Amino acid sequence: MKNRLVLYSIICFIFSFLNFLEDYNESSFFEAIQDQIYLFPLSFIFIFLIYLIRKKTVESNCYKKNELFEKRTLLFFISITTILIFSILLRLISLVLFNDDEAIVFFDTLFFAILIIVSSIVLFIYLFEIYLENEFEKKELKIRLKENEIENLNDKYMSLKNQLNPHFLFNCFSNITSLIDTEPEKAIKFVEELSNVFRYSLTNSDEILVTLSEELTLLNSYFELQLIRHQGLIKLESSVDVSKLDYLIPPLTLEILIENALKHTIFDKHNPLKISIYSKEEQLIIENNFNPKINAIKTESFGIGMKSIKKQYVLLNCGEPSFKIENNIFRVEIPLIKSSYD
């Protein structure tokens, strides 16, 4: 508000100064100054009232709940009403102050001159406010994108850190060592899957979106590693419609969700971790039996991955993921994004 006051004061000052120069050429200096003493505050009040009317309209609930076309229609109606009211009001003031002729016509040339001037001022204020609002939205978007970029870098770092942490690598190398003597072909397969996981994480983590097919390929490699590590204590069922494989999702989404299930769920040979992935319309559903570790939900790490996925979808403006617990099932619904090339 303070910035607007200063801005419109400057505009009124420029207008008054130009008017002063014109009056000075036709009358004395003091008469020209005297005119501006009245003109400046009146023009400021006039402009500021137009600004306030628009501001209150934009901030009203009636305006906010409407669609874009309805918003523009409402603003157009308000602007026309404002122009007519102020034009009639100024014409009445001119009749009271400057006219002694009893036979004066209200809707004369002067009225239409006032109408044109008021219309020009209202149009200027509306266009100027739209410009300022667009600039503000751009600045806000840049800030949000910067914040998201920093968070994404942190998420990618954490994902790579989880893959490269000594415990994970120790288990991988231990599994390879034990398999080399007993099942050399399985050991080779294990190394291939491990390299697939690292290659995907390093090459695709910078992408905004990847195909569901690529994500499922990564998931298969990642799950093979976990399957050998947990030796039959986890199960994965995948039933994704082939027609959805070219749809898009943010990279590492499935790995984050599976990692979350493995990290925070209690499972053993009597109660294995069962993960199910399937498509339903334009949603990808990921479910697992819900048997959380003590205080798992209260820990910060439980929600980090889900927050990251949510924020990415907010910026993409392509639906919103949902996370639910129903009948001891943890259910995640991820919107599938249709490729623009389809």
- DSSP assignment string, 131-191: HHHHHHHHHHHHHHHHHHHHHHHHHHHHHHHHHHSHHHHHHHHHHHHHHHHH-HHHHHHHH
Strands 329-335 and 283-289 come out as antiparallel
On the question of pLDDT at 278 being above 80, the answer is yes
Q: What is the pLDDT of residue 99?
A: 58
On the question of pLDDT at 73 being above 90, the answer is no
Whole-model pTM over 0.85:
no
Residue with tokens 């109408």: 115
Angstrom distance (rounded) from CA 126 to CA 86: 15
pLDDT > 90: what percent of the chain? 15
* Rounded average pLDDT over 242-250: 92
* Rounded average pLDDT over 194-199: 81
Angstrom distance (rounded) from CA 16 to CA 39: 7
pLDDT > 70: what percent of the chain? 83
* Burial of 332 per CB tally in 10 Å (0-12, 13-18, 19+): buried
Angstrom distance (rounded) from CA 326 to CA 123: 55
Q: Which of 154-168, 173-187, 250-264, 325-339 has the lowest mean pLDDT?
A: 154-168
Task: Give whichever of 218-227, 254-263, 324-333 has the largest mean pLDDT.
Answer: 324-333
Q: What is the pLDDT of residue 90?
A: 78
The phi and psi torsions of 248 (rounded to 5 degrees) equal: -115, 150
Selection from 243, 252, 267 nearest residue 221 by Cα: 252
Do residues 249 and 212 touch, judged by C-beta distance below 8 A?
yes
* Rounded average pLDDT over 278-296: 86
